[in-house]
Amino acid sequence: MPRPWLSVEGIARRYGARPVFRDLWFGVERGEFVALIGHSGCGKTTILNILAGLEAPDAGTIVMDGREVSGPALDRAVIFQSHALLPWLSALGNVAFAVRSRHRAWPRAKAQDHARRVLDLVGLAEAAGRKPAELSGGMKQRVGIARALAIEPSLLLMDEPFSALDALTRGTLQDEVLRLVSDAGQTAFMITHDVDEAILLADRILLMTNGPDARVAEVVVNTLPRPRDRQTIHRTPGHHALRNHIVDFLVARSRTLAGARPEGWDGRRVPEVRPAASPIEETIS
Amino acid sequence: MALRVRSALLLLLILAAALGAWQVAATPAAPTGPALDPEYAKLLGTAAQGGQQTPMPRPSDIAERAWHLLRDPFYVHGANDQGIGIQLGWSLLRVLTGFGLAALLAIPLGFLIGMSPVLHGALDPIIQVLRPVSPLAWMPLALYTIRDSGASAIFVIFICAIWPMLLNTSFGVATVRREWLNVARTLEAGPWRTAVAVILPAAAPTIMTGARISIGIAWLVIVAAEMLVGGTGIGYFVWNQWNNLAIADIVVAILVIGLVGMALDQLLGRAARAVAWRE
């Protein structure tokens, strides 16, 4: 089996002697959007931090594009849950900070122009001069998205990027990210606990059991055709089965499957399911 | 607005009442003692003529002396007779020099302490022991080693100004949000760029608070230090006028010291607002 472009190989995180998660294997191919879904406490954010290089795993490795990930780097951008904007810089300043990190030789004006273009891309051209404190929650996260995209990363990492936003703003930003990621063919990995968000954005959804000793119990392949649209996706054949499958997992199986591995479990060969492709799909009006 | 007007009116009222009461209370009764030989009386001064203590100056006396002292604050009549402005200038020079030197050491060192838990653990006991020592306790040691009274006064200011800036800088640096540091790390910002572009602006408000406390303490300490070392400065002026029994001049000096201290605090307060950020 060829190694995927991003290959997570048996990573684990222990808290004292108890594993938070262990024996975690999965891959992300170029241009693919993968989401990881699970309850809090299963180490989701830690997994993202390990992918970002901000934390080291207690076991296992991550190989991206043939090279081992050993620390944070500009080829992986993070959209933080708490937006993590620098409050003393304007929206433009925050994005320009990232641009100047990527292109150290660029003169200030060129970096600012580039930052302005990226802000324009997320619809914030008007607010470029404002400080984060003068922006709404949704606008702040737009700046966070712009900052991540500004460095043209090969992998975009998102840690529940919309969970702090109200439902309306969340929907708009999901559309925005969907558009930006599809337009750029961006490879992305996202942590979420929002089923609809995962179905809308991700091509594959990793279902994680509750911690401690959490594992990816199942990989759900999202067979709903791209481009997916928030307005119509819930009427797409298969959507219902897909959504039910994930909700069932989160409500019940994430708990019942937690802890001890079943007989013959192989972390490298997690079962793949395609609930949306099943023939028994009831349509809803 | 109306509130400010009312406060101002109340302030004037309190001042008028207090000064009025003081004026009445301090006005001496007519002298009753036996008349002295006029020439001897002249030698003794007015207080001694009545066989009394030097009287407490009245507000009107103080106003008169203030007018006299502040009309020409920068005169120099030899080494021992200089205007109050010159004396204030000396004090300010010492405070700003000592404070500046303290900032030059405390802010970089505080940065290192804030970034390195090991260094923090190593230096914290020293800081905790030295910090509560009255800066004047250093004076004899300074005089002995430096052998220069002016430089010793500056050293005392340096010693007292260093602690608030050191502690606030290290605290500000140590408590920079982890997520901002993570942003810098994911952007591959090196240690220097992270320090200058992330940690310094993040900690700047805390550092400025330390600087503001430092300059306040320095201004408190300079008066006492100059009383000890003598020669020049507003502290020396106060002590000198005490030796002259010029009580009104001391009251004027107290007011001037207060006003300059307030101005210094406002200045640092303005600087603190300039680097403040809001989330």
Residues of chain B contacting A131 with CB distance shorter than 8 Å:
277-278
The beta-carbon neighbor of B179 closest among A84, A131, A151 is A84
B214-268 tens-digit pLDDT: 999 999 999 999 999 888 999 999 999 999 999 999 999 999 999 999 999 999 9
Answer whether residue A169 is part of any domain: no
Residues 6 or more apart in contact with residue A178 via CB below 8 angstroms: A200, A201, A227, A228, A230
pLDDT for the residue numbered A264:
83
State the nearest Cα–Cα gap between A119 and chain B, in angstroms.
18
Q: What is the DSSP string of chain B?
A: -HHHHHHHHHHHHHHHHHHHHHHHHHSPPPP-SPPPPHHHHHHH-HHHHTT-PPPPPPHHHHHHHHHHHHHSTT-B-STT-B-HHHHHHHHHHHHHHHHHHHHHHHHHHHHHHHH-HHHHHHHHHHHHHHTTS-GGGGHHHHHHHH--HHHHHHHHHHHHHHHHHHHHHHHHHHTS-HHHHHHHHHTT--HHHHIIIIIHHHHHHHHHHHHHHHHHHHHHHHHHHHHHH-SSSHHHHHHHHHHTT-HHHHHHHHHHHHHHHHHHHHHHHHHHHHH----
Cross-chain residue pair A72–B180, CB shorter than 8 Å? no
What are the two backbone dihedrals, phi and then psi, of residue A34, each rounded to the nearest 5 degrees?
-115, 135
Q: Among all residues of chain A, which has the CA nearest to that of B197?
A: A97
Residue A58 lies in a domain: no
Residue to substitute from A54, A85, A88, interface B, most B β-carbons within 10 A? A88
Mind telling me how many Å the CA of B189 is from chain A's nearest CA? Answer: 6
pLDDT at A282: 46
DSSP character string of A28-94:
E-TT-EEEEE--TTS-HHHHHHHHHTSS--SEEEEEETTEE--S--TTEEEE-TT----TTS-HHHH
Asked, for residue A147, whether it belongs to a domain, the answer is yes
Closest to A132 measured CA to CA, from A165, A173, A97, A83: A83
Q: Inform me whether the pLDDT recorded for B36 exceeds 80.
A: no
Select B94-228's CATH number: 1.10.10.10, 1.10.3720.10, 3.80.10.10, 3.40.50.300.
1.10.3720.10
| Mean pLDDT for the stretch of residues B78-88 | 86
When pLDDT is cut at 50, 70 and 90, the band that residue A158 belongs to is very high
Among candidates A54, A88, A98 on the partner chain, residue whose Cβ is nearest the Cβ of B277: A88
Q: Is the pLDDT of residue A247 over 90?
A: yes
Provide the CA B273 distance to its chain's centre, in angstroms: 21
**Chain A: which residues have CB within 8 Å of chain B?**
52-54, 71-74, 76-78, 80, 82, 84, 86-88, 97-98, 101-102, 131-133, 147, 151
* Partner residue opposite B197 with nearest CB, options A77, A97, A133: A97
Structural domain boundaries in chain B: 94-228
Compute the Cα dihedral for A171, A175, A178, A180 and give only its sign.
negative
Question: Which of A91-100, A159-168, B157-166 has the least mean pLDDT?
Answer: A159-168
Chain A neighbors of B189, CB-CB under 8 A: 101
B185–A77: do the CB atoms touch at under 8 Å?
no
User: How much is the mean pLDDT over chain B?
Assistant: 91
The per-residue pLDDT for A281 is: 46
Give A101 or B49, the one with higher predicted confidence: A101
Q: Is the ipTM of this complex over 0.85?
A: yes
Cα–Cα dist A214/A219, whole Å: 14
Given pLDDT bands bounded at 50, 70 and 90, which one contains residue A69?
Answer: very high
More confident residue, B81 or A45: A45
The total number of structural domains in chain A stands at: 1
The answer to the question of residue A20 being in a domain is no
> Is B195 in CB contact (< 8 Å) with chain A?
no
Strands A155-159 and A187-192: parallel
Query: How far apart are the CA of A155 and the nearest CA of chain B, in angstroms?
Result: 12
Banded pLDDT at B31 (limits 50, 70, 90): low
Q: How far apart are CA B21 and CA A284, in angstroms?
A: 90
Q: Select the residue of B187, B198, B277 nearest A74 (Cβ to Cβ).
A: B187
Q: Which of A76, A88, A151 sits opposite B201 (nearest CB)?
A: A88
Q: How far is A39 from chain B (nearest CA, A)?
A: 22
Nearest chain A Cα distance for residue B274, angstroms:
11
* Residue A102 lies in domain: 76-152
Hey, are the CB atoms on A101 and B189 less than 8 Å from each other? yes
**Which pLDDT value is given to residue A278?**
63
A1's enclosing H/E stretch is none
Handedness of CA B26, B29, B34, B36 (dihedral sign): positive
Smallest CA–CA distance from B193 into chain A, residue: A101
Amino acid making up residue A125: A
Shortest Cα distance, chain A CAs vs residue B264, angstroms: 25
**Confidence band, pLDDT 50/70/90 cuts, at residue A164:** confident
pLDDT tens digit sequence for A96-150? 999 999 999 999 999 999 999 999 999 999 999 999 999 999 999 999 999 999 9
Please give the pLDDT value at position B110.
Answer: 96
Q: Cβ of B144 under 8 Å from any chain A Cβ?
A: no
Identify all chain A residues contacting B195, using CB atoms and an 8 Å cutoff: none
Query: Which one of A72, A88, A97 has the shortest CB-CB distance to B185?
Result: A72
Closest residue of chain B to A140, computed from CA coordinates: B279
Give a yes or no: residue A122 inside a domain: yes
How far away is chain B from the Cα of A244, in angstroms, using its nearest Cα? 35
Residue of chain B whose Cα is closest to the Cα of A87: B279
pLDDT class of B46 with cuts at 50, 70, 90: low
Q: Which residue of B has its CA nearest to A49?
A: B182
- For B186, the closest of A76, A86, A87 (CB atoms) is A76
Q: Is residue A193 part of a domain?
A: no
* B182 to A73: CB separation less than 8 angstroms, yes or no: no
Does residue A111 lie within any of the structural domains? yes
* Interchain proximity B186–A87, CB inside 8 Å: no
Q: Which of A185, A126, A188, A135 has its CA nearest to residue A161? A: A188
Please indicate whether, in this complex, the C-beta atoms of A80 and B202 are within 8 angstroms of each other.
Answer: no
Q: Mean pLDDT over residues B268-277, rounded? A: 95
Taking contacts as CB-CB distances below 8 angstroms, the residues of chain A near B187 are 72, 74, 97-98, 101-102, 151
Mean pLDDT estimate for chain A:
91
B279 chain-A contacts, CB cut-off 8 A: 87, 132-133
Is B279 touching A (CB cutoff 8 A)? yes
- Residues, chain A, total? 285
Structure tokens at A112: 């600012």
Out of A54, A72, A86, the one facing B188 most closely (by C-beta) is: A72
Q: Can you state the angle between helices A137-150 and A167-184, rounded to 10 degrees?
A: 20
Q: Is residue A229 part of a domain?
A: no
Confidence of residue A285 (pLDDT cuts 50, 70, 90): very low
A86, A152, A189: best to mutate for the B interface, most B CBs within 10 A? A86
User: How far is Cα B270 from Cα B208, in angstroms, rounded to an integer?
Assistant: 10
